[in-house]
Amino acid sequence: MWTQIVGKIRLALSPPQNHYWHSALYVSTHGLTTSPMPCGSELVQIDFDFHKHRLLIDTSWGASAAVRLEPRSVADFYAEAMTAVHRLGIDVSIWATPVEVADPVPFEQDTVHASYDPAAVQDFWRALVQVDRVFKQFRGRFLGKASPVHFFWGGFDLAVTRFSGRRAPMWKGATLNVHPHVMHESYSHEVSSAGFWLGTESVPAVFYSYAVPEPDGYRGAPVEPGGGAYSQEIGEFMLPYEVVRTAPVPDDALRAFLESTYAAAADLGHWDRGLLEERPACDCAELPPGAPV
Convert the pLDDT of each residue in 62-101 to its tens digit.
999 999 999 999 999 999 999 999 999 999 999 999 999 9
Give the closest residue to 138 by CA, choosing from 159, 168, 165, 110: 159
Cα separations (Å) of 90 from 4, 57, 63, 79, 87? Answer: 18, 10, 11, 15, 7
pLDDT for the residue 58: 98
Please list the ranges in the chain whose pLDDT falls under 50. Answer: none
- The phi and psi torsions of 182 (rounded to 5 degrees) equal -60, -40
Q: What is the pLDDT of residue 88?
A: 98
257 CB-near residues (< 8 Å, 6+ apart):
194, 207, 209, 223, 224, 225, 228, 237, 239, 244
Which pLDDT score, from 0 to 100, does residue 178 have? 84
Averaged confidence pLDDT in the chain = 94
pTM: 0.92
Can you give the pLDDT at residue 285? 54
- Contact status, residue 11 vs residue 153, Cβ threshold 8 Å: no
Q: Which of 190, 104, 114, 101 is nearest to 152 (CA)?
A: 101
Q: Supply the pLDDT for residue 176.
A: 77
